[in-house]
Chain A
Amino acid sequence: MKQAHHFEDWPLPIFQLDRELTILASSKLASSLFKESAVFTGLLEEGSRQKAVEFLNPARSFQPIELTFLSPLDEPTVMDVHTKWESDGIANVIAVPKDRHYNRVFDQLTHLRKRLNETNYDLLLEKERADELLQNVRELSAPCIKLDQKRLLIPLFGLIDQQKMETVRPRILENVYRQDGQIVIFDLTAMDDIDNEGLTQLNALIQSLSIMGITISITGIHPRHAKRLHELNAVIYATFAVSLQDVLLNEH
């Protein structure tokens, strides 16, 4: 059988190497796929050089090995490298690209991961937007309405809980202080319910206001609120009135 000395035209990157891994000859495809180098390790990505030196050795080269090559534009590609050493200390080396399907699956994996991450990110932004809206809603659940020089009306809306009270409390104190109000009227007509923490917070707010020397009235109390207020079992520094109308008439 005649030996194929001229393998330039083979449809794969092929090399002849000596023991120092100097490139003695290579196929045309080898020079177009990879960077230029006189030694085989020069074609490889740094992380593969040590592996090549260890395995491209007459004592070890039975199994193919994976190595990362660099394209002329420095793009990494993993290939399977098959080697056979001849008795004269020359190695015939073939680099086989990974199956196309294999690469496609890898790319798809990467793409899927990216999608998952982006979805996470979008959800996070949505959540932030929702939190912001919720915060707005909380702030709106206790607007401060200036009735005249002295009086400030604060209707409470919906379910009042700790978070809502924590949100509106600093704003109410600020408003009362800035507008120099002397009387604050809390109107509970539109308040659905108040939980225990909300109630404690409301009472704390009332205390703070009374320390500031403010007179406080509470109106619009529904029987179920009354029960709650009673359960709180604390001194509430406020006067109670049946309806807003009563307070408004009495104060004048």
Chain B
Amino acid sequence: MTSDELADIFLSGDDYYALRKVRYYLKTHTRKELFQELLTPAMYRIGQLWQENVISVADEHLATAICDFVISATDNRSQAEKEAAGKVMIMGFEGEDHYLGLKMVACVFREHGWVVYDMGPNLPLVHAMDAAEQLKPDVIGLSAALVSRLPLVKSYMDAFGILDPKPAVLIGGRAVTLADLSDAKAEGAVVLESLETLQNWIRSRKERNHETSASL
């Protein structure tokens, strides 16, 4: 099945057919491949069809709902919390409503044994700080699909900087591939453009942690 075909199934609104197709795909592929090679391109294809005036924003809503359903229905939570590899809190910037990327990021962390607090998109900074103070995450992940959200990066970074213990901050999403985030990087943020790079980051962090605990 190609991602274009899956996009058509999303647009038809047939949730169980979409799920069957995706389950079949998962027999021979990993979940990361599902997200990266199939679901994300299918949603980008939806965006392309809107650009070509073939579909409307209402169709995008429908496609999003089906895609969301497929992600939830194939989510494997059994690995989560087993290893207690760490705690991550993820969210979208205030004013950002796109949330499928966040859900995928949550799944990737869970597959690596992390406890995930998915705060959803559009999280105002005050709420983010309240939650962070309570949950004390090791890592905070931010997602932006809208380029117009990126000016908020600085205020979020500054606020997270005063947390104790200070979490690592990851920034990802479609918008980071389109804009320059060198200021955020200078403040210590890790900018990751795909689930692939996220996975590498999680793995190298694990290795680093092993080394530090071995040298103690």
Binding site for B on A (CB under 8 A): 45-46, 50-51, 54-55, 63, 65-66, 74, 78, 102, 106, 109-110, 113-114, 117-118, 120-121, 124
Choose one: A46, A51, A54, A106; the contact of B147 (CB below 8 Å): A46
Interchain CB contact under 8 A, B117 and A109 = no
Could you tell me if B53 and A63 are in contact, using CB atoms closer than 8 angstroms? yes
Interface-located stretch among B56-64, B163-171, B191-199: B56-64
The reply to whether A121 and B117 contact each other, CB–CB distance below 8 Å, is yes
Interface range on chain B (Cβ under 8 Å from partner): 10 to 19
Q: A114-B120, A121-B117 are in contact. Are A74 and B148 (CB under 8 A)?
A: yes
Q: From A102, which residue of chain B is reached at the shortest CB distance?
A: B58
Contacts of B147 in A (CB 8 A): 46
Interchain CB contact under 8 A, B51 and A51: yes
**A-side interface mostly:** helix
Contacts of A50 in B (CB 8 A): 51
Q: Does B152 contact A (CB under 8 A)?
A: no
Q: When A117-B118, A121-B117, A124-B117 are in contact, do A66 and B56 touch as well, CB less than 8 Å? A: yes
Which of A45, A109, A117, A120 touches B61 (beta carbons < 8 Å)? A109
Tell me the smallest distance from the CB of B71 to a CB of chain A, in Å: 13
Identify A66's interface contact among B57, B65, B97, CB under 8 A.
B57
B60 to chain A, nearest CB (A): 10
B17 at the interface (CB under 8 A from A): no
B120 adjacent to A117 (CB under 8 Å): yes
Q: How far is the CB of A177 from chain B (nearest CB, A)?
A: 21
Q: Given A117-B118, A117-B120, are A51 and B61 neighbors across the interface (CB < 8 Å)? A: no
B44 contacts the other chain (CB 8 A): no
- Alpha-carbon separation in the docked complex, A118 to B99 (Å): 14
- Chain A proximity of B82: nearest CB distance (Å): 13
**Cross-interface CB contact of A65 among B53, B117, B118, cutoff 8 Å:** B53
Considering the chains assembled together, what is the distance between the CA atoms of A74 and B65 in angstroms? Answer: 27
Query: Contact at B51–A66, with CB atoms within 8 Å?
Result: no
- A sample of 27 cross-chain residue pairs with beta-carbon separation below 8 angstroms, ordered by A number, consists of A46-B147, A46-B148, A51-B50, A51-B51, A51-B53, A54-B51, A55-B53, A63-B53, A65-B53, A66-B50, A66-B53, A66-B56, A66-B57, A74-B148, A78-B57, A106-B61, A109-B61, A109-B65, A110-B97, A113-B68, A114-B120, A117-B119, A117-B120, A120-B118, A121-B117, A121-B119, A124-B117
B120 partner residues in chain A, CB cutoff 8 A: 113-114, 117-118
CA–CA, A65 and B68, complex, Å: 27
Would you list which residues of chain B between 53 and 82 have a CB under 8 Å from chain A?
A: 53, 56-58, 61, 65, 68
Closest chain B residue to A120, Cβ basis: B118
Closest to A64 in B: B53
Q: How far is the CA of A54 from the CA of B56 in the complex (A)?
A: 16
Smallest Cβ distance from A145 to chain B, in angstroms?
31
For B58, the closest partner residue in chain A by CB is: A102
Q: How many Å from the CB of B172 to the closest CB on chain A?
A: 19
Bitwise interface map of B from 116 to 154 toward A, beta carbon under 8 Å scored 1, else 0: 011110000000000000000000000000011000000
**Chain A residues with CB below 8 A from B56, complex form:** 66
Smallest CB separation, B154 vs chain A (Å): 17
B131 to chain A: closest residue by CB:
A121
Q: Report the bound CA distance from A124 to B131 in whole Å.
A: 13
Shortest C-beta distance, A154 to chain B (Å), equals 28
Residues in chain A near residue B99, CB distance under 8 A: 113
* A-B contacts besides A46-B148, A51-B53, A114-B120, 5 pairs, CB < 8 Å: A65-B53, A66-B56, A109-B61, A110-B97, A121-B119
Nearest CB on A from B18, distance (A): 18
Bound-state Cα–Cα, A102 to B50, Å? 18
A-B pairs with lowest CB-CB distance, top 6: A117-B120, A65-B53, A51-B51, A78-B57, A66-B56, A66-B57
